[in-house]
Amino acid sequence: MSKQIWKPGNMLYPLPAVMVSVADREGHANILTIAWTGTICTNPAMVYISVRPERYSYHMIQETGEFVINLTTEKLARATDYCGVRSGRNVDKWKEMHLHQEQASTLRYAPLIEECPVNIECKVAEEKELGSHHMFLAEVTAVHADEAYMNEKNKFELNQTGLLAYSHGEYLGLGKKLGTFGYSVKKKK
């Protein structure tokens, strides 16, 4: 197999495509789309988002120390893209994308996006200035899961929500299940 060598860059794909909801202390809420996000730690539950300082929402996160990571779905693909390419300085993304704010349970300012199947409430623990992006490391203070995806055994069926991923400039549905954790080493019956 022949491969080209490229300059150093970020080619770690696919990534989750999430909408992050924020607000300032005056209650002006905004949504920004982020693919640079992930898990840091299980106990305590911690996540991160990386945001360019020139983004409209950046100062809101700095000011309040909170944000909500809202998981997106194939049905929300257009809204996810729109909230990533339009600035809240110029447009009300909530209104334009027909999205609705829902009160968070542990946060004072940042709202949840009602249409998303999972909302992860976050309080900033630390900000790291890393270059083009600053990373907000945050403690997860609450998780909201849409009851519509609870099965008869009260198990949340996250993979039935139609989750959205981002890979090299494209939005993708996650597709079909190929296996479960540990399937490669399970003994056959």
Residue 180 maps to a domain: no
Q: Is a pLDDT exceeding 80 seen at residue 189?
A: no
pLDDT tens-digit series, residues 44-56? 999 999 999 999 9
The radius of gyration computed from the CA coordinates of the chain, to the nearest angstrom, equals 18
Residue 10 maps to a domain: no
Residue 4 maps to a domain: no
Query: What is the overall mean pLDDT for the chain?
Result: 95
- How many structural domains does the chain have? 1
Please enumerate in sequence order all residues whose Cβ is within 8 A of that of 82, keeping only pairs 6 or more positions apart, or say none.
93, 96, 97
CB 29 within 8 A of CB 100: no
Taking the CA atoms of 56, 57, 59 and 63 in sequence, report the sign of the dihedral they define: positive
Residue 86 maps to a domain: yes
Q: What is the CATH number of the domain that holds 76?
A: 2.30.110.10
Residue 187 maps to a domain: no
Domain that holds residue 93: 15-173
